[in-house]
Every structure is written in structure tokens, then in C-alpha cells.
């Protein structure tokens, strides 16, 4: 719990993801054939985007598909970062869709879970590179009201 008894976004996302997996079962998002198909689809969507590209082959670990993406152009604010992520999500999301933004040390991560009643996929899009890092630094300055950020 965060201050004042509020759930912080990361915890809330994990609770909602657990609820979805409880409803559909762990196997819902662990079908290797379906995950490979989904990986191919997401990779194709990213490769046709002129705004970002894959840094390396996406990782598949514990049934999660994590995509590290190099952002090609400056990102002015979190709304721009959201727009980049959702330009991918609009092409890959299925009937069930949940996403959460996390500003991290090396960029902005969008955790997601999506699927249908039959199968699903879990993972993240991680926007990174100098343009994403500029956004992270601006974000830190905003939340610290200009105070220097110390890790």
C-alpha cells in the first residue's frame, strides 16, 4: 500500500493480472505455440513502425514476452510515450486488455496482458534509448519539483 492506504499502480496491476489468471487459469497465457504466433505478430507491428525498433530478439521468460524498443524520435511527455505504446497495442490487443505504465531507470515500461476467452499473452513493451531517457529525466524533475534526483 502507498501513503494514505492507496494501492500503488504496480501493485494494482499485479492484483488485476492475478485476478485474470485466476479466472482463466495459468495455462491461459502459457501456450507456447500461441505465444510464438503473438511474438511474430508484435514483432511485425513494431518493424513496420517508423517511430521505434526492436533492440534485440524479444525475451520469453515464464510465459512473458518482453520487447525492448529503441525510440527513434524525441518524446516530449508521458502522453507521447503512451501514444507510441498504444500505437502498438491498438494492433495487438484482443478482447481482454490491461496495461500499466512504469517510468523506470532505463526508460518507460508498459506491462500488458491481453487475450480472448481461449488464450492470452502477458509481457511488456520497454521504450528505451536516449530519447526515452530524456523523457525519464524530465519526468523525474517534474515529480521532484526540480530537486536533483538521487538514485
What per-residue confidence (pLDDT) applies to 144? 65
Q: What is the pLDDT of residue 7?
A: 47
Q: Give me the tens of pLDDT residue by residue for the chain, a chain 151 residues long.
A: 445 544 467 889 999 999 999 999 989 999 999 999 999 999 999 999 989 999 998 878 888 999 999 999 998 888 899 999 999 999 999 999 999 999 888 899 999 999 999 999 999 999 999 989 888 888 877 776 655 544 5
Report the C-alpha gap between 42 and 53 in whole angstroms: 11
The pLDDT of residue 70 is 96
CATH topology of domain 3-143: Beta Polymerase; domain 2 (3.30.460)
Please tell me the pTM assigned to this model: 0.86
pLDDT at 1: 45
pLDDT reported for residue 116:
96
Instruction: Provide the residue ranges of all domains of the chain, joining segments of one domain with +.
Output: 3-143
Q: How far apart are CA 90 and CA 82, in angstroms?
A: 12
Q: What is the pLDDT of residue 21?
A: 95
What pLDDT sits at residue 59?
75
pLDDT computed for residue 134 by the predictor: 87
60 CB neighbour count, 10 Å cutoff: 15
Separation of alpha carbons 100 and 4, rounded Å: 21
Q: Which long-range contacts (CB under 8 A, 24 or more apart) does 13-20 make?
A: 13/98, 13/100, 13/111, 16/98, 17/98, 17/111, 17/113, 17/122, 20/96, 20/98, 20/113, 20/120
Amino acid at each position: 500500500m502507498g501513503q494514505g492506504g492507496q494501492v500503488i499502480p504496480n501493485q494494482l496491476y499485479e492484483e488485476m493480472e492475478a485476478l485474470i489468471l485466476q479466472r482463466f487459469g495459468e495455462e491461459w497465457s502459457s501456450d507456447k505455440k500461441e505465444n510464438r504466433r503473438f511474438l511474430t505478430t508484435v514483432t511485425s507491428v513494431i518493424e513496420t513502425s517508423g517511430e521505434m525498433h526492436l533492440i534485440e530478439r524479444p525475451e520469453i521468460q515464464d510465459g512473458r514476452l518482453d520487447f525492448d524498443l529503441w525510440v527513434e524520435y524525441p518524446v516530449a511527455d508521458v502522453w507521447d510515450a503512451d501514444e507510441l505504446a498504444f500505437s502498438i497495442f491498438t494492433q495487438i490487443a484482443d478482447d481482454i486488455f490491461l496495461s500499466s505504465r512504469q517510468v523506470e531507470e532505463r526508460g518507460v515500461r508498459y506491462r500488458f496482458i491481453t487475450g480472448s476467452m481461449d488464450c492470452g499473452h502477458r509481457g511488456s513493451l520497454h521504450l528505451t534509448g536516449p530519447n526515452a531517457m530524456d523523457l525519464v529525466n524530465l519526468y523525474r524533475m517534474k515529480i521532484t519539483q526540480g530537486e536533483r534526483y538521487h538514485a
